Structure 1
Amino acid sequence: MTTASSAASMNAIEERQIAKANRLHAAADEASSAGDHRRAERSCRQALAIFERIDGQRSPDVANLSITLSRILGGGGGDRAEALKAARRAWEILEPLRGSTPELSLLRFLARQQLGVALREAGDFRGARPLLLRAARTAERRFGKDSIELALALNQVGILCKYTSRYEEGLTAYRRSLAILRRELGASHPELASIHHNLGGIEHHRGRFRKAAVQAARSLAIREAALGRSSPLVAADAAAYAAILAELGRRREARALYTRAHRIFLRVYGERHYEVAMNTHNLAALDASSGRLRSAETRYRRATELFTQAIGRDHPDTALARYNLAALLATLGRPEEARAHCMHALRVFEGAFGKTHPHTVSTVDLLTELDGLSGITTSRRRRVRRR
């Protein structure tokens, strides 16, 4: 075979491999949209391996797939550390590249935004904020004030604002995002379910439970119509709605929705997963509010273990579970045992949110009661619950 023939043969093989990688990338996106994060991760890693072999470790194609991998790992409540690692890799590849082609500019925008998302999911809210705000500004400048890209970027800003108690800023971002998506996609498009879900979440945080319930019910209805009852994304909507119904005193309905969601999460993800941890935590809170204190203790302890395995001992969600366990132990007359959990939660909350955040203030109040009393009554206990 001549050199020219050999080169042509190699090029043909490479082109087939690239086409295969692109099909795998598309399959990963499709599986992720359907909530099948295991299949999405598998397809994405296969595509990534092909481009690494063809282009090397630091090509734009590798960065693009690293962005997708980070989104899949984080969006599925999977390995947050690996999601952050993939996002950092993408940014480290793209940030030093010179040139301003539309393709490269778009990749830089997506990499910056995904790094902000991954930092937020890892509990680094201060690191996430400038990246997500800049991504939103870039989306508006590059794609326009009515673009879907801007709507999705605003959604990410809104999520961050919920966690950091910037409620009015978050509501503004969500409402603007919802208006764009409704105009561009229609009121029943599945993408709108995420915004309704998040609007319900921020109203839940603010204690405006009836408003939260309207948004959560809408999210569940849209997503269930699009994906069916067995999707893990639908299960996440059901669990969020359940948390709000519990606050409204509709505990039987809440427990049914939690149980339904729990079965789906276990089937799709297995037990050691973020969504299972959060649902276990919320079932514990429901048990506590229903007077099932021993069951609540068991579930809070299990939720703490699962959160630690899924996202680490110093993540704010792990600290939240430990705070609620501390409050319950105090109610059960075990203040010394409660104090150790409360101290850990305080350290994490102060580091993540600062001294004036409601979680930090509630934890300081609980510590003060623990220091002054041998136990606290249920009526004085300050419980924080969040999905």
Structure 2
Amino acid sequence: MTLSLEGTLSDEGLRAGLAQARRRIREGAYPEAGALLRHALAEAEARLGPDHPALVPALNECGILGKYTGDFEAAEFAYLRALSIDERHGGADPAVAAGILHNLGGLAHARGDAAAAQEWARRGLAVRTSTAVDPLLVAADHAALAAILVDLGKAAEARAVLWGVLAVYRQDPRRHRYEIAATLHNLGALQFRTGDAAGAAITLRRALRMKRAALGRRHPDLGVTLYNLARCLQEQGRLRAARRYTRRALSILEGVVAEDHPTLAACRRRTAALRGL
């Protein structure tokens, strides 16, 4: 999960361009979002200079997009640059730093470095909870930390955190349909890691239905849930269904994310392995 930073931009054109880019990211239209962000950032730099705090929201969105597409080096550069600018200007709003730290944790997690991801995530939580905040933002931070804890094998802590997050989001299930779906996805991953492939498949199907309802049937974010569901089905010996879900994940991700994106690469390896079974 990632957080967008609102920030304060210096003119309506820049605000409008950034809002458009955010919409394209939510829709999964990553190439269009990238073009919009590059244009918005170039305009802001030309007008305001390379160290202006108005650049922070655009840099943060560049990081979000880079994480989604698998351009991890560009994402890290954008996030760290945004954090550096915020710190140089006094970090007046802790929510800005907390959001960037949250996103750095998500990026490290996507890169497979759970230890670094945990460090960033806990730093973000500490900043977030240092002042009065929206409980939904704290829930988002905890949700991201829980996904990292799953990969670190801290099952008991991850389970407790995830159920706490669900309790927050279920207070308004229509508004937070996607967040509930993402949390269920992580619960399914935890069930699979702890040996309950059948239970994980049930949970992941629920997550997939909710993601489709929130995002549509072709959004790239569905890819990882389809892949994890395929793994559960393979574990149960349901090879035909596993192949079907893996193919669906491939069809959604190919041509949209980077060729070396971890989920796309995993789908290709799984497809090759399933052919021999």
Change (3 A) 1:151 1:188: closer
Structure 2 counterparts to residues 1-387 of structure 1, below 5 A: 106-186=11-91, 189-228=94-133, 231-270=135-174, 273-353=177-257, 355-373=259-277
Q: Secondary structure at the match of 2:172?
A: helix
Contact kept? 1:162, 1:205, Cα under 8 Å: yes
In 2, Cα distance between equivalents of 1:339 and 1:120: 28
Residue identity matched to 1:324: N
* TM-score, length of structure 2 as denominator length: 0.92
Corresponding pairs, count: 272
In 2, Cα distance between equivalents of 1:272 and 1:298: 20
Change (3 A) 1:227 1:351: farther
Q: Deviations over 1:172-194 (max 9, x none)?
A: 11111001112224387121100
Point out which structure has higher relative CO (alpha carbons under 8 A, 6+ apart).
2
Contact kept? 1:272, 1:310, Cα under 8 Å: no
Q: Secondary structure at the match of 1:249?
A: coil
Q: Deviations over 1:148-176 (max 9, x none)?
A: 21111111101111111211111111111
Residue identity matched to 1:194: G
Residue identity matched to 1:225: S
Q: Which moved more, 1:145-154 or 1:299-308?
A: 145-154
Contact kept? 1:155, 1:174, Cα under 8 Å: yes
In 2, Cα distance between equivalents of 1:268 and 1:179: 36
Displacement of 1:253 after TM fit? 1.0
Contact kept? 1:139, 1:153, Cα under 8 Å: no
Contact kept? 2:67, 2:107, Cα under 8 Å: yes
Change (3 A) 1:253 1:187: farther
Contact kept? 1:304, 1:322, Cα under 8 Å: yes
In 2, Cα distance between equivalents of 1:160 and 1:214: 22
In 2, Cα distance between equivalents of 1:227 and 1:144: 33
* TM-score, length of structure 1 as denominator length: 0.66
Q: Deviations over 1:9-35 (max 9, x none)?
A: xxxxxxxxxxxxxxxxxxxxxxxxxxx
In 1, Cα distance between equivalents of 2:165 and 2:61: 24
Change (3 A) 1:356 1:180: closer
Identity %: 37
Q: Secondary structure at the match of 1:308?
A: helix
Contact kept? 2:220, 2:252, Cα under 8 Å: yes
Query: Which structure would you say has the larger Rg?
Result: 1
Displacement of 1:144 after TM fit? 2.6
Q: Deviations over 1:240-287 (max 9, x none)?
A: 011111211111111111111111011134486110110000110011
Contact kept? 1:346, 1:360, Cα under 8 Å: yes
Structure 2 unpaired stretches of 5+: none
Residue identity matched to 1:371: R
Q: Secondary structure at the match of 1:238?
A: helix
Q: CA RMSD in A?
A: 2.1
Structure 1 unpaired stretches of 5+: 1-73, 76-102, 374-387
Displacement of 1:333 after TM fit? 0.4
In 2, Cα distance between equivalents of 1:269 and 1:141: 43
In 2, Cα distance between equivalents of 1:151 and 1:275: 25
Change (3 A) 1:271 1:285: farther
Q: Deviations over 1:33-58 (max 9, x none)?
A: xxxxxxxxxxxxxxxxxxxxxxxxxx
Residue identity matched to 1:346: L
In 2, Cα distance between equivalents of 1:183 and 1:234: 25
Change (3 A) 1:192 1:356: closer
Q: Secondary structure at the match of 1:268?
A: coil
Displacement of 1:361 after TM fit? 2.2
Q: Secondary structure at the match of 1:316?
A: coil
In 2, Cα distance between equivalents of 1:197 and 1:370: 36
Contact kept? 1:272, 1:309, Cα under 8 Å: no
Residue identity matched to 2:203: R
Residue identity matched to 2:29: D
Q: Which moved more, 1:311-320 or 1:231-240?
A: 311-320
Contact kept? 1:316, 1:348, Cα under 8 Å: yes
